[in-house]
Every structure is written in C-alpha cells, then in structure tokens.
C-alpha cells in the first residue's frame, strides 16, 4: 500500500478490476490426484453434485495457477470476488445462503473492503467498466 492514509487506501481498494492474466483450466493437478478434496468416489447421485464437483475442480485449478503468477494474490482474489459480486448485483449475493457463518463473515470483510460496505464501488468491477 502506498502512503497517503485512509483516502489513498480507499482509492487503491476501489481500483477497477483488471485481470492480470488469463486463467485456463488444465488437466487434473497433483491436488486432485492426491485427494485434497473428498469428491464422491461412486459418482454423483444427482446433477447438483456433478456440477459442484466440476466447478470446484476448475476453481482449485484456477486459484492454484493464480498463486503461482500473482504478486498480490490477496488483492487478486478480492478483485475476482468483487467482479462476481458485481455480476450478481451485490456483495451480499455471495453469502446469501449462509450469511451468519464465519466463512461468510470473512468473505464479507474481503469483498466489502474492496467494493465498499454499501457496495458504492461495485459497478467498477462489472466487465467492461472502469
């Protein structure tokens, strides 16, 4: 963070989302082969499980790649979550299914610290904005 106090920090947090790299999903990495997540072994019992496994694997691969390339991984993750919140219409949309959980609290701190506690900078993270 550069000097300048609270105003400078707010400006840095509100910077428009600009992807630093393009992520592509690759073949299963060592995290999947080693069983880092307990995916069902007998196959999904319904379509929801199948989709959750697919996007979880994709997210793990993308985030792993980002940790290898992003100098400021936390800032990158905050901007990515802010972009998702912008597409969903509010930062609260990210945690609406379990708003009182400790995980939701931490997600809220990260995202609202980026887009503002009242979503005042949310529109800056929409694709093509900023």
pLDDT digits (tens, 9 = 90+) for 23-32: 444 445 444 4
113-130: pLDDT as tens digits = 999 999 999 999 998 865
pLDDT in tens, 67-76: 999 999 999 9
Is 83 or 44 the better-scoring residue by pLDDT? 83
Return the domain boundaries, the chain: 24-69, 72-130
Q: What is the pLDDT of residue 54?
A: 87
Is the entire prediction scored with pTM above 0.75? Answer: no
Question: CA angle, 38 as apex, 37 and 39 as ends, to 5°?
Answer: 100
28: number of Cβ within 10 Å: 11
């Amino acid at each position: 963070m550069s000097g300048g106090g609270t105003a400078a920090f707010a400006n840095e947090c509100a910077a428009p989302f600009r992807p630093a790299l393009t992520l592509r999903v690759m073949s299963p990495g060592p995290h999947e082969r080693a069983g880092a997540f307990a995916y069902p072994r007998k196959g999904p019992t319904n379509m929801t499980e199948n989709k959750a496994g697919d996007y979880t694997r994709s997210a793990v691969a993308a985030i792993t790649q980002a940790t290898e390339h992003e100098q400021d991984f936390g800032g990158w993750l905050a901007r990515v979550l802010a972009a998702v919140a912008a597409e969903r219409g509010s930062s609260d949309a990210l945690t609406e299914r379990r708003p009182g959980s400790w995980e939701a609290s931490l997600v809220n701190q990260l995202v609202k610290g980026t887009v503002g506690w009242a979503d005042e900078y949310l529109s800056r993270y929409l694709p093509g904005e900023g």
